[in-house]
């Protein structure tokens, strides 16, 4: 029981990170119907900017962890957002109205280019850092096994919950959210009614990238080491999460993230850690076969 | 140019600002290990970044000038950039010299492009141009084929050239195989390399464990890969385009992870070594024959030469690739081939006309997988060593890029794209990661500027009224 609880706590933490990345996939898919394959790389770049930010904070003598975290968070979000904007502007916008698979192929190109760009600029070695929060407390002890919750895990879940709440509010209540929902339903009609479609899509990418950057920072703090390749696996898993929850649905993305975190952690905890990624991919395949619209998604009707 | 110049300057300034924001942390602060347990420190590259941003500003300014018809200023800027990049002036890094100079070259090309395009278009419209174009389209493929067949006899065909030839032909074959799936049937397969891996491991295991020869295993490997194609395809082919892409990607990764972790069968990351090469009528390519075997030089009574093996491999892959091509050409004329292309154009209409989309897609998937299996067992026989490292996602992406750049569905386009994407970078191997960076950027640029690929014109497989018969009414 104690082991189970511990795994559950770890799984929720991991799931929160996946959920944050998954939101970016789900929003972009919802609005322009493309899989933003480069989203995982934005997450990776967010992690790198956070790493650099933490080192700068250290050299400036900012020793208070909360201040450093908030500073780095803002830094990573704003600079990664520029990446999201630039990717959409240069690689996807010129392709709107091109043939069906063009944006996906372009996105794969962006993903390859960004990976190698970071590898060239920052080196191929894994980079340690970002461990500014340490310690935790024992929840309870059973069968001689301490169930521990670290402060970091609490921070990760708190940040995710706050961002999710804020984000749901943006989509539901603000004019930007209304424009996004309008574009999602019918882009042409929305533009006829005075919605600036280009701007709305740009902002969707910016928001998604900012959330991915938060996930990157949390990932860095949680694992303490990053490299240029983390975006690929994390991106695929987050996409799986988005599909599992029902692509296009925000609560679905969060739920899917949690489920993927649970599957991965429990598979590694009870079966074998080598095959944990296989489990995640197998889930993706199974969901797409048996419930392509996901757990919370609406079935798509194909129009001729 | 008066009133437009401030706008162009503003646009270039904005671009430079965005570039500076993008590069500020990732490029400007290179994290390096300080050693001695002091953790990470910085190697500041802000000057490099500043130079790059200035180059981007000038480049963007030149591009907008060229777009607005100001060709001469754009060419002047481009030449200035080339001069700056090639000058002995000391820029902070060697890469920046290349960056600035290449930017200048691209700018000049962009500026003279409209002229070159007009001139080429005018030349193609003259009577001799039209005749040449027709003859070229008809004979180009045959010329390429003749060149490929004669390549080993050429004086410049040393070991390096032959190695490159084998490599390019392997990718041509993979490209043609994937062309069936992506180009003809319109299914985006991001896990094609999985079938390549199945073929390679099938040969590696059957030859090292059971002593089967290359020619025995080749059809088996193809069948095995096709079986995997059916196994994967059957449940997932109902999915829409981009979902299918992600599922195939997941499948490719599953195969790779299984190969990596199933130690008993595949020897894990260490891979499988000492795989026997292909034999010629039972004779092996070696200087001294293994017990009970004959060497090719003994059999043919010629002196041993290490290059013979390579030339033999070259002709095997050339033959395999040509079989793939011929097979595809014939398939396109069969009902199932026509159904593939119809399905690519409009799935709903096909269903209405009574074509079973799942079965049709499945045949395309299985046949494409089969050719990847052939290529895979050839790869294992050529390398004599395979490991999961060779079957990563990036390989799938490269093969896909060949198909897309060639112009989906165009057979000759695949050849051109393979030469361009595999041959060129192979000459620039020293560039290392810059190569892959350029590769990724090229994929984006192709999609933006030439989404239909190099050979965008595609001869229809069937005409209701043969050309020249005055049909159409």
Domain segments of chain A: what residues?
2-290
With 60 as the cut, is the pLDDT of residue B231 above it? yes
Q: Does A166 touch chain B (CB under 8 A)?
A: no
Are the Cβ atoms of A109 and B242 closer than 8 angstroms?
Answer: no
Say whether the ipTM exceeds 0.90: no
With 70 as the cut, is the pLDDT of residue B297 above it? no
What pLDDT does A114 receive?
Answer: 94
Q: Does B32 touch chain A (CB under 8 A)?
A: yes
Are the Cβ atoms of A277 and B22 closer than 8 angstroms?
Answer: no
What pLDDT does B129 receive?
Answer: 76
Are the Cβ atoms of A116 and B188 closer than 8 angstroms?
Answer: no
Domain boundaries, chain B: 4-124, 158-449
**Radius of gyration over alpha carbons of chain A, in Å?**
19
d(CA B107, CA B72): 11
Q: How far is CA B230 from the centre of its chain?
A: 25
Say how many Å lie between the first and final Cα of chain B, rounded. 51
**Chain A residue with minimal CA distance to B16?**
A86
Contacts of A67 (CB under 8 A, 6+ apart): none
d(CA A31, CA A250): 12
d(CA A281, CA A285): 6
- β-bridge mates for residue B40, sequence order: B33
Q: How far is CA A227 from the centre of its chain?
A: 17
Say how many Å lie between the first and final Cα of chain A, rounded. 54
- β-bridge mates for residue B366, sequence order: none
Q: Does A301 touch chain B (CB under 8 A)?
A: no
User: A174 in helix, strand or coil?
Assistant: coil
**Chain A residue with minimal CA distance to B30?**
A122
Comparing CB atoms, the residue among B18, B40, B443 nearest residue A108 is B443
pTM tops 0.90:
no
Q: CA nearest A46: which of A239, A277, A221?
A: A221
Q: Does B98 touch chain A (CB under 8 A)?
A: no
With 60 as the cut, is the pLDDT of residue B105 above it? yes
Q: Please compute the mean of the pLDDT values over residues B447-467 and round it to a whole number.
A: 67
Which residues 120-159 of B have a C-beta within 8 angstroms of A? none
Q: Does A273 touch chain B (CB under 8 A)?
A: no
Which residues 113-132 of A have a C-beta within 8 angstroms of B? 113-123, 125, 127-129
Q: CA nearest B180: which of B198, B197, B195, B202?
A: B195
- Positive or negative, the Cα torsion across A86, B99, A109, A212? negative
Are the Cβ atoms of A127 and B442 closer than 8 angstroms?
Answer: no
Comparing CB atoms, the residue among A45, A106, A113 nearest residue B437 is A113
d(CA B280, CA B406): 34
Are the Cβ atoms of A281 and B448 closer than 8 angstroms?
Answer: no
d(CA B220, CA B195): 13
CB B283: neighbour CB atoms within 10 A?
16
Which residue matches tokens 């599953």? B254
What pLDDT does B222 receive?
Answer: 93
Chain A residues inside the 8 Å CB shell of B242: 34-35, 100-101, 104
Helix, strand, coil percentages for chain B (3-state, nearest 5)? 75, 5, 25
Comparing CB atoms, the residue among A113, A127, A128 nearest residue B444 is A113
User: B353 in helix, strand or coil?
Assistant: coil
Tens-digit pLDDT profile for residues B390-409: 898 888 988 988 888 887 77
d(CA B133, CA B129): 6
Mean pLDDT is lowest, of A5-19, A137-151, B264-278, B452-466, for: B452-466
Helices (H), B27-93: 46-67, 71-86
Distances (CA, A) of A32 to A92, A198, A253: 10, 11, 17
Chain B residues inside the 8 Å CB shell of A101: 188, 241-242, 245
Report phi then psi at B469, rounded to 5: -90, 5
Is residue A271 a contact partner of residue A256, using CB atoms and an 8 Å limit? no
Chain B residues inside the 8 Å CB shell of A104: 188, 242, 245
Chain A residues inside the 8 Å CB shell of B247: 284-285, 288
Q: What are the per-10-residue average pLDDT scores of chain A (304 residues)?
A: 87 93 89 87 95 90 86 94 94 85 87 92 86 80 81 92 90 90 88 92 94 94 91 88 84 90 88 81 79 74 55
Is residue B341 a contact partner of residue B193, using CB atoms and an 8 Å limit? no
Are the Cβ atoms of B440 and A114 closer than 8 angstroms?
Answer: yes
Q: Please compute the mean of the pLDDT values over residues B399-423 and round it to a whole number.
A: 84
What pLDDT does B470 receive?
Answer: 47
Report phi then psi at A226, rounded to 5: -135, 160
Query: Percent of chain B scored above 90 by pLDDT?
Result: 15
Nearest-CA distance A265 → chain B (Å):
17
Distances (CA, A) of B174 to B8, B201, B271, B294: 45, 16, 22, 32
Q: CA nearest A250: which of A115, A150, A160, A120?
A: A160
What pLDDT does B472 receive?
Answer: 40
Which of A88, A105, A116 is the best mutation test for B, with the most CBs of B within 10 A? A105
Contacts of B346 (CB under 8 A, 6+ apart): none
Q: Please compute the mean of the pLDDT values over residues B336-345 and round it to a whole number.
A: 87
Q: Please compute the mean of the pLDDT values over residues B172-189 and round it to a whole number.
A: 90
**Chain A residue with minimal CA distance to B348?**
A304
With 50 as the cut, is the pLDDT of residue B473 above it? no
Chain A residues inside the 8 Å CB shell of B29: 52, 55-56
Is residue A255 a contact partner of residue A245, using CB atoms and an 8 Å limit? yes
d(CA A196, CA A183): 9
Is residue A297 a contact partner of residue A246, using CB atoms and an 8 Å limit? yes
Q: Does B358 touch chain A (CB under 8 A)?
A: no
Which residue matches tokens 């895979």? B376
CA dihedral B392, B394, B398, B403 (to 10 degrees): 80
With 80 as the cut, is the pLDDT of residue B53 above it? yes
User: Could you write out the DSSP letters of every residue in B242-279?
Assistant: HHHHHHHHHHHHHHHHHHHH-HHHH-GGG-B--PPPP-
**Chain A residue with minimal CA distance to B395?**
A112
CA dihedral B363, B364, B365, B367 (to 10 degrees): 80
**Chain A residue with minimal CA distance to B247?**
A285
d(CA B412, CA B167): 17
Comparing CB atoms, the residue among A113, A116, A275 nearest residue B261 is A275
With 50 as the cut, is the pLDDT of residue B310 above it? yes
User: B30 in helix, strand or coil?
Assistant: strand
What's the angle, vertex CA B277, arms to CA B271 and CA B282, rounded to 5?
145
Q: Does A92 touch chain B (CB under 8 A)?
A: no
- β-bridge mates for residue B386, sequence order: B272
Are the Cβ atoms of A288 and B239 closer than 8 angstroms?
Answer: yes
Are the Cβ atoms of B26 and A49 closer than 8 angstroms?
Answer: yes
d(CA A81, CA A94): 19
Are the Cβ atoms of A281 and B254 closer than 8 angstroms?
Answer: yes
d(CA B283, CA B294): 5
Which residue matches tokens 């450093």? A68
Which of A285, A286, A293, A301 is the best mutation test for B, with the most CBs of B within 10 A? A285
With 70 as the cut, is the pLDDT of residue B112 above it? yes
d(CA A85, CA A81): 6
**Which of the two residues, A100 and B422, has the higher pLDDT score?**
B422
Q: Does A74 touch chain B (CB under 8 A)?
A: no
Class of domain A2-290: mainly alpha
Q: Does B96 touch chain A (CB under 8 A)?
A: no
Give me B164's structure tokens.
Answer: 């490159």
Which residue matches tokens 């698979």? A101
Report phi then psi at A105, rounded to 5: -65, -40
Q: Does A71 touch chain B (CB under 8 A)?
A: no
Under the banding of pLDDT at 50, 70 and 90, the label for residue B471 is very low
Chain B residues inside the 8 Å CB shell of A90: 444, 448
d(CA A22, CA A26): 6
* DSSP E strand boundaries for A222-303: 225-226
Eight-state DSSP code of residue B454: S
């Amino acid at each position: 029981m104690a082991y189970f609880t511990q795994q559950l706590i770890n799984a929720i933490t991991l799931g929160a990170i996946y959920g944050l990345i998954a939101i970016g996939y789900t929003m972009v898919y919802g609005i322009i119907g493309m899989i933003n394959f480069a989203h995982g790389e934005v997450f990776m770049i967010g992690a790198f900017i956070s790493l650099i930010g933490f080192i700068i904070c250290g050299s400036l003598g900012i020793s208070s962890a909360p201040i450093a975290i908030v500073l780095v968070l803002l830094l990573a979000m704003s600079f990664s957002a520029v990446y999201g904007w630039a990717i959409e502007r240069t690689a996807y916008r010129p392709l709107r109205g091109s043939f069906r698979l063009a944006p996906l192929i372009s996105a794969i190109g962006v993903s390859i280019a960004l990976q190698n760009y970071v590898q060239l600029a920052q080196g191929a070695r894994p980079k340690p850092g970002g461990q500014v929060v340490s310690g935790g407390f024992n929840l309870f002890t059973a069968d001689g096994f301490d169930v521990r919750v670290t402060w970091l895990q609490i921070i990760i879940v708190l940040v995710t919950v706050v961002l999710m709440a804020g984000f749901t509010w943006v989509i539901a209540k603000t004019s930007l959210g209304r424009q996004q929902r309008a574009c999602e339903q019918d882009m042409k009609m929305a533009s006829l009614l005075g919605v600036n479609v280009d701007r709305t899509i740009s902002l969707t990418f910016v928001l998604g990238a900012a959330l991915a950057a938060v996930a990157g920072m949390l990932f860095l703090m949680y694992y303490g080491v990053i490299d240029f390749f983390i975006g690929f696996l994390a991106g695929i898993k987050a996409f799986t999460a988005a599909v599992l929850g029902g692509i296009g649905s925000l609560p679905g993305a969060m739920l899917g993230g949690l489920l993927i975190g649970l599957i991965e952690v429990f598979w590694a905890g009870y079966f074998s850690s080598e095959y944990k990624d296989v489990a995640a991919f197998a889930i993706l395949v199974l969901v797409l076969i048996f419930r392509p619209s996901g757990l919370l998604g609406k079935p798509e009707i194909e129009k001729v | 140019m008066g009133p437009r110049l401030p706008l162009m300057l503003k646009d270039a300034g904005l671009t430079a600002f965005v570039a500076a924001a993008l590069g500020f942390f990732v490029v400007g602060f290179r994290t390096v290990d300080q050693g001695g347990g002091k953790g990470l420190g910085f190697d500041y590259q802000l000057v490099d970044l500043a130079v790059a941003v200035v180059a981007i500003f000038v480049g963007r300014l030149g591009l907008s000038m060229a777009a607005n018809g100001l060709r001469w200023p754009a060419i002047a800027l481009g030449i200035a950039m080339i001069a700056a990049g090639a000058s002995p002036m000391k820029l902070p890094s060697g890469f920046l010299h290349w960056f600035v100079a290449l930017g200048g070259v691209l700018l000049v090309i962009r500026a003279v492009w409209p002229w070159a395009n007009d001139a080429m278009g005018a030349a193609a419209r003259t009577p001799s141009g039209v005749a040449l174009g027709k003859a070229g389209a008809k004979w180009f493929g045959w010329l390429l084929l003749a060149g490929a067949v004669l390549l080993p006899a050429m004086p410049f065909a040393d070991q390096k050239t032959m190695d490159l030839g084998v490599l390019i032909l392997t990718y041509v074959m993979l490209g043609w195989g994937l062309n069936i799936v992506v180009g003809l049937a319109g299914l985006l397969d991001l896990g094609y390399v999985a079938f390549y891996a199945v073929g390679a491991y099938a040969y590696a295991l059957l030859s090292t464990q059971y002593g089967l020869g290359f020619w025995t295993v080749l059809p088996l490997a193809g069948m095995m890969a096709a079986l995997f194609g059916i196994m994967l395809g059957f449940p997932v082919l109902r999915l829409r385009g981009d979902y299918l892409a992600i599922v195939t990607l997941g499948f490719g990764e599953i195969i790779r992870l299984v190969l990596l972790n199933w130690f008993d069968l595949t020897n894990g990351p260490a891979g499988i070594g000492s795989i026997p090469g292909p034999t010629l009528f039972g004779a092996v390519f070696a200087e001294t024959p293994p017990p009970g075997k004959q060497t090719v030089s003994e059999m043919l009574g010629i002196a041993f030469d290490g290059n013979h093996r390579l030339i033999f491999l070259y002709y095997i892959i050339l033959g395999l690739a040509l079989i793939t091509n011929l097979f595809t050409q014939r398939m396109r004329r069969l009902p199932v081939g026509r159904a593939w292309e119809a399905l690519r154009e409009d799935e709903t209409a096909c269903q209405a006309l009574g074509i079973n989309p799942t079965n049709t897609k499945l045949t395309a998937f299985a046949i494409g997988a089969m050719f990847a299996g052939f290529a895979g067992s050839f790869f294992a026989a050529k390398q004599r060593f395979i490991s999961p490292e060779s079957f990563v996602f990036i390989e799938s992406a490269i093969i896909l890029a060949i198909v897309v750049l060639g112009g989906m569905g165009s057979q000759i386009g695949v050849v051109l794209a393979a030469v361009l994407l595999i041959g060129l970078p192979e000459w620039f191997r020293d560039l290392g990661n810059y190569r892959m960076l350029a590769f990724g950027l090229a994929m984006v640029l192709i999609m933006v500027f030439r989404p239909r690929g190099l050979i965008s014109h595609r001869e229809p497989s069937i005409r209701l009224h043969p050309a020249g018969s005055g049909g159409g009414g």
